[in-house]
Structure 1
Amino acid sequence: MEHLCVGSYVRIMTSCTIPAERKFDSFCEKLMISLCKDGAKAFSYTSADGYEVSYSYPNFNKIHSSSQNLPTEVMQMALTKDARAIERYFITIIIPAMEEARKKNAVLALKSIILKDHAIADNTQLGAISSLTKHELKSKNEFVLSEFLTDIFIYAIAKTDNTIEADFTKSIKKDYSSAYSPMTDTITLYEVTKPKTKASIPLTSKGTFNKVFTPISSECLSISATHDLQIFCLKFDDYDFDYHCLWKHLRNNIGYYVYSRRLIKQYMEEDEISALAYDAIAHIKELMAKGHLSSGNELGELLLYIFLEQVLNAPKLMSKVEFSNHGGLFTSESVGIHLLTADATVPFNQIILGTSFIDGDLQSAIDSAFSYAQKLKNRKKDERRFVESSIFAASFPAEVYNQLEAIILPTEANANKPATAFGLFLGYTLNGVSSNGKTIDDYQTDVREQLKQDILKQVPYIESKIMQYGLDGYSLYIYMLPFTDADEDKKNIMDKLLQSGGGMS
Structure 2
Amino acid sequence: MPLRIDVPENFLNLFHKIFENEPVENGNKLNLFSLKISNNAFSYADLVEELGDILTAYALSRSTYDALCSQKKYTTLVSKAKERLRKAESNDGELGEILLYTMLEAHLKAPKLLTKLELKTDPNHYVNGADGVHLLRIDDNTFQFVFGESKLYADLNDGLKEAFKSLKNLLKEDLNKLRYEIQLVNSNLLKETQEDESVNLLKKLLIPRENDEDLNIDHSFGIFLGFDVEITEDERKLTNAEFRKTVYDKVKKAVLTILPTIKKQIQQDDFRGYNFYIYIVPFSKLAEQRKKIIAELKK
Q: Report deviation, 1:460.
A: 0.7
In the alignment, structure 2 segments of 5+ residues that lack a partner are none
Q: In 1, Cα distance between the equivalents of 2:100 and 2:213? A: 33
> In the alignment, is the contact (CA less than 8 A) between 1:408 and 1:417 conserved in 2?
no
With structure 1 as the length reference, what TM-score do the two structures score?
0.53
Counterpart residue number, 2:93: 297
Q: In 2, Cα distance between the equivalents of 1:254 and 1:296? A: 17
Distance 1:276 1:414, change over 3 A: closer
Q: Report deviation, 1:380.
A: 1.4
Counterpart residue number, 1:259: 60
Indicate which of 94, 105, 114 corresponds to 1:309: 105
Counterpart residue number, 2:194: 397
Secondary structure of the 1:351 match is strand
Instruction: Give the letter for the 1:422 counterpart.
Output: F
Q: Deviations over 1:328-355 (max 9, x none)?
A: xxx6511111100024xx9620111111
Counterpart residue number, 1:200: 2
Q: In 2, Cα distance between the equivalents of 1:401 and 1:412? A: 12
Counterpart residue number, 2:36: 235
Secondary structure of the 1:204 match is coil
Instruction: Give the letter for the 1:370 counterpart.
Output: F
Counterpart residue number, 2:221: 422
> In the alignment, is the contact (CA less than 8 A) between 2:114 and 2:185 conserved in 1?
no
**Overall identity of the aligned pairs, in %:** 27
Q: Whose strand proportion is higher, 1 or 2?
A: 2
Q: Deviations over 1:156-175 (max 9, x none)?
A: xxxxxxxxxxxxxxxxxxxx
- Between 1 and 2, higher relative CO (CA 8 Å, sep ≥ 6) is seen in 2
Indicate which of 159, 165, 173 corresponds to 1:371: 165
Q: Report deviation, 1:270.
A: 0.4
With structure 2 as the length reference, what TM-score do the two structures score?
0.86
Q: Structure 2 matches for 1:462-481, cutoff 5 A?
A: 462-468=262-268, 470-481=270-281
Counterpart residue number, 1:388: 186
Does the alignment pair 1:248 with 2:37? no
> In the alignment, is the contact (CA less than 8 A) between 1:201 and 1:403 conserved in 2?
no
Please report the RMSD computed on the Cα atoms of aligned residues, expressed in angstroms: 2.5
> In the alignment, is the contact (CA less than 8 A) between 1:422 and 1:477 conserved in 2?
yes
In the alignment, structure 1 segments of 5+ residues that lack a partner are 1-198, 500-505
Q: In 2, Cα distance between the equivalents of 1:412 and 1:356? A: 31
Indicate which of 477, 487, 494 corresponds to 2:287: 487
Counterpart residue number, 1:222: 25
Select the structure of larger CA radius of gyration: 1
> In the alignment, is the contact (CA less than 8 A) between 1:353 and 1:376 conserved in 2?
no
Paired residues, what number?
286
Q: Deviations over 1:129-169 (max 9, x none)?
A: xxxxxxxxxxxxxxxxxxxxxxxxxxxxxxxxxxxxxxxxx
Q: In 1, Cα distance between the equivalents of 2:130 and 2:269? A: 17
Instruction: Give the letter for the 2:135 counterpart.
Output: L
Counterpart residue number, 1:279: 80
Q: In 2, Cα distance between the equivalents of 1:298 and 1:416? A: 34
